[in-house]
Structure 1
């Protein structure tokens, strides 16, 4: 059974069709990439799946449950988490505090205990701190916990945002351009991290413009153009699709990625 099902999703803005009738499914541990030229509707699709936008048509199912239009915080509690194309990092907070914030996003109903500084509140804080430190070590930021987040390199900030998303213990993780602005070394680090997370059974939905990375790590690729799905399949199949080559990859780039 599919963990995430996207069925005929569509949306319009001011009468302009941004995404139309897009469908695909994901299994646990699968890496699915959504690619396409600028303006193809990739981030809009992400926003509908993650509850930022209410779809005009279609449905989103998470482990068989219809979660269409459900708010992001409720989706997070059901196991769907995401990062954003533009970094959502608290620049003035420490790296560790940013990671801890991911744990707090899944908590509710503890305000009184926190205000009174009850033992249960202190225990939760300690568990969150220890968990956040382990996540930082996992993404290669274990020694940067006390640094101000704004002092990190762009690639390190990307890994920090992934760590914070992992704090929600997702079953489905949406990554919107995780390697954008990163150099080759940083991209490789993120590449390995994504593969490790997927190997643990987390389904990963990826939007990324680095075609070599996409072709290297993806199990399945969905291609959008002008808001419509024009192709899907494994990397080898997609890279040879003439519609994809015409719309996005370009003959030489497709050949390079396939090689």
Structure 2
């Protein structure tokens, strides 16, 4: 199964990806591609394998089958910090925010992956270390302005609204200047106003040329902002295409109606 919609512009290529746990195929033979500046959403009922797929792409899980390429380089099974240096960053379903640190300190922490200085220089406060710290703070403040949190810089992160925490996590993920940003349910737990803010932020990041790979349960948001959608069910890709095409696909409708029947109407 081919992953490419246009090999000349593909940033991320996923080909035949699969993984099993205890003999159960959690993800099986999934392929798709993501272009620069494109928003690609992965959707499906609960248990469809979306986060497992994300974990393989981002190096948390070692795939049992298939290959992943980033910017033409095979990166299958590469560790997250090495992927970050090659232009991939991600957020998680559960917030990874340091609640007792300030908003600015949280944003600064995202720059650590880029640092190459010595620990001794940092301990001694040498000029090179001070320059790095100054550059990290300047970059963090720019990111906070980008996610509209600059006025909250000195506030303890634990005092922010949930939607603001989600935007702070995106800011921190952007510190590594990624070519592709993986967002795992960025609007989960947010109210309508917070979801709209995140919606606009994602669109702005994509417009700057950063590719977005998104897992999200808010179907209104997915249909609004996605250029391309990949649909999973029971670990397999059952459909893909633009939002209009996917929303009319009989296999997609059946998968979601089946999920509704199994859960009594509470489905993603």
TM-score range normalised by the length of the shorter chain: over 0.9
Q: How does 1:173-192 map to 2 (within 5 A)?
A: 173-192=181-200
Shift of 1:107: 1.7
Shift of 1:34: 0.1
Q: State TM-score, norm by structure 1.
A: 0.95
> Among residues 232, 238, 255, which one is paired with 1:247 in the alignment?
255
1:99 paired to 2:107: yes
1:209 paired to 2:217: yes
Question: SS state of the match for residue 70, structure 1?
Answer: coil
Per mean C-alpha deviation after superposition, the further-off stretch among 186-195 and 102-111 is 102-111
Instruction: Say whether the 8 Å CA contact 1:73–1:106 is kept in structure 2.
Output: no
Taking the aligned partners of 1:31 and 1:94, their CA distance within structure 2 comes to 30
Q: How does 1:24-173 map to 2 (within 5 A)?
A: 24-173=32-181
RMSD, aligned α-carbons: 1.2
1:199 paired to 2:169: no
Q: State TM-score, norm by structure 2.
A: 0.92
Partner residue of 1:19? 27
Instruction: Say whether the 8 Å CA contact 1:82–1:175 is kept in structure 2.
Output: yes
| Structure 2 unaligned spans of 5+ | 1-7, 259-268
Taking the aligned partners of 1:58 and 1:28, their CA distance within structure 2 comes to 22
Residue correspondences, number? 251
Partner residue of 1:224? 232
Q: Alpha-carbon deviations, 1:68-108, whole Å to 9, x = none?
A: 01000000010000000010111111110000000012223
Q: Alpha-carbon deviations, 1:137-195, whole Å to 9, x = none?
A: 11111111111111111100000000000011000100000000101111111001000
Taking the aligned partners of 2:22 and 2:116, their CA distance within structure 1 comes to 37
Against the structure 1 CA distance between its residues 152 and 249, is the aligned structure 2 distance closer, same or farther, given a 3 Å change threshold?
Answer: farther
Instruction: Say whether the 8 Å CA contact 2:227–2:243 is kept in structure 1.
Output: yes
Shift of 1:109: 4.1
Question: SS state of the match for residue 110, structure 2?
Answer: helix
| Structure 1 unaligned spans of 5+ | 251-259
